[in-house]
Amino acid sequence: MPHFPILGIDSVEVTVEQSQRLVVVSNRVPPASAVAPQGGSGSVSVGGLVSAVKPTMERYGGIWLGWSGRSTQRRGSNEPTITDLGRLQLATLDLSEDESSMYYTGYSNRTLWPLLHSFPGRVVIRHDTYRFYRRINRRFAEAVFSILKPGDQVWIHDFHLFHVGFELRQLGWTGSIGFFLHVPFPSADIFSILPWSKETLEALLHYDLVGVHTDRYLRNLLDTLDSELGGSLDDRGIYSFEGLSSKLGVYSIGIEPSVFQRKDTEDRRGLTEEISLNADPNHRLIIGVDRLDYTKGIPHRLRAFERMLEHHNHLRGKVTYVQISSPSRTRVPEYVQEKEHVERLVGQINGRFSEANWVPIRYLYRSYPQYDLARFYHDADVGMVTPLRDGMNLVAKEFVAAQGEENPGVLVLSQFSGSASSLLDAVIVNPYDVDGTAEATYRALRMPLAERRSRSKSLMEGVLKHDASAWSESFLHDLGVYSAQVSVV
């Protein structure tokens, strides 16, 4: 088992047992076939959390617990089913249809997701879904508790499981527990829409360490804690309220660049062949890759592409926009509507501009293996990553990693993604400003080679420095340090 590099600070001595295990808990775990030893980069694993946590688990080993994704007729057992994959064990729970529809579709996806992404108009408040959410958080905690051994480090992921740390403390777990939020933390005004805002914040303070992606989310969280609870922050970043203490910190998530890096000598026309453009080597390609989610701003992006074709006639027949939309949350009504909206728009724009030998938008509603995604990124002249709101957005970093040095493409990036706080050499856009995004995309298509190279080089440095390993190492390091500190506050 791994030994996390834990250093003492402020004269706090921290010793770690060699036998310490990492126990990660997230809503879902990937299928056993997609993780080590035989899985890896060829697999289709759609979703940022799994993309980012998978390399951590492959590296450190340990136990990864989550919902199997199965919905059964009857309530499942609290004993997780263990699949042994050598250094890594997957522990899964089944949920009944009621449980998955109330906890997952209901409270997680229709209340917390829009709230945390600052879409108050889409937030659905229902007391019954919240009760289920709390019950399922308790079930997750009981399942984790049943496999914990003294000295384990527990790392809970994301908004589906806000209360698992609190429940673990109720069950008597005194060891360290960290929590990482993969989505934005909104402003205090937005968060206070939640009738259970105070108990959710108090639940957070049962973790030793709470991590978010950016400084802005941390400021929002602190602001919200101040206005809702009124605790205090010390100069180590430890927030205290009525006997509870938590260290709050910024840990910007990254990717495994080597999975996406492509050599310049590799054929640059893979994507062209895939979509049978074959003809002109000067044909320009724009790519978008997203889970089909209303936060990703796909309709605004389609409108911006349309506007670019309106304003720059000469591009017609010379540029193709490839949108890969991976199916996501297909049982949630808002996602069904978004799919219909996107498909209608694609149809309208293609209907308006298509010619006998050119279709402006290639819309692919499906998932591709990661290897193919990397080829597509590499082949594209412009990567459009324009969410209306996004915790980080790993696609932006994957696009950068796949470019190579000779003839790199240009990243057009939304100012409302967490990635924009570090990928400063991208072409930054406001996705709500359709005209502005259209012009920025046009500029990206025409950007001179020297500028593309210098921007791409500096973006790549950031992606290499802040990769997935740096993220998990710094979080786990701090979890070791601060779990010792907060227990003596």
Structure token digits, residue 158: 């994301």
Please provide residue 108's backbone torsions phi and psi, each rounded to the nearest 5 degrees.
-65, -50
Contact 126, 106 (CB under 8 A): yes
Please provide residue 171's backbone torsions phi and psi, each rounded to the nearest 5 degrees.
-80, -10
Residue whose pair of structure tokens reads 């959410």 in the numeric block: 133
Nearer to ligand GDG, 92 or 367 (CB): 367
- Please state the closest distance from residue 220 (CB atom) to ligand GDG, in A: 15
Query: How open is the CA angle 249-296-45, to the nearest 5 degrees?
Result: 75
Nearer to ligand GDG, 2 or 47 (CB): 47
- Please state the closest distance from residue 408 (CB atom) to ligand GDG, in A: 19
Structure token digits, residue 486: 């907060």
Nearer to ligand GDG, 244 or 271 (CB): 271
Query: How open is the CA angle 435-439-440, to the nearest 5 degrees?
Result: 115
- Please state the closest distance from residue 1 (CB atom) to ligand GDG, in A: 25
Nearer to ligand GDG, 208 or 398 (CB): 398
How far is Cα of residue 19 from the mean position of the Cα atoms in its chain?
30
Among residues 390, 425, 467, 478, the one annotated as catalytic is 390
The DSSP call for residue 414 is E
Structure token digits, residue 43: 């697999």
Nearer to ligand GDG, 57 or 394 (CB): 394
The DSSP code sequence of 28-71 is E---GGGSTTT-STTS---SHHHHHHHHHHHHH-EEEEEEEEEE
Nearer to ligand GDG, 173 or 363 (CB): 363
Query: How open is the CA angle 255-261-262, to the nearest 5 degrees?
Result: 160
Among residues 182, 206, 300, 378, the one annotated as catalytic is 182
- Please state the closest distance from residue 229 (CB atom) to ligand GDG, in A: 26
Query: Would residue 160 show up in a list of annotated catalytic residues for this protein?
Result: no
Query: Would residue 10 show up in a list of annotated catalytic residues for this protein?
Result: no
- Please state the closest distance from residue 2 (CB atom) to ligand GDG, in A: 22
Q: How many whole angstroms separate alpha carbon 424 and alpha carbon 431?
A: 16
Structure token digits, residue 475: 């979080």
- Please state the closest distance from residue 270 (CB atom) to ligand GDG, in A: 15
- Enumerate binding residues for ligand GDG (CB under 6 A): 44-49, 51-52, 182-183, 253, 289, 291, 324, 326, 367-370, 373, 390-395, 398
- Please state the closest distance from residue 423 (CB atom) to ligand GDG, in A: 12
What residue type is assigned to position 210 of the chain?
V
Contact 161, 25 (CB under 8 A): yes
Contact 431, 374 (CB under 8 A): no
Nearer to ligand GDG, 68 or 393 (CB): 393
Residues in CB range of 485: below 8 A, 6 or more apart: 10, 12, 236, 238, 247
Active-site positions? 182, 390
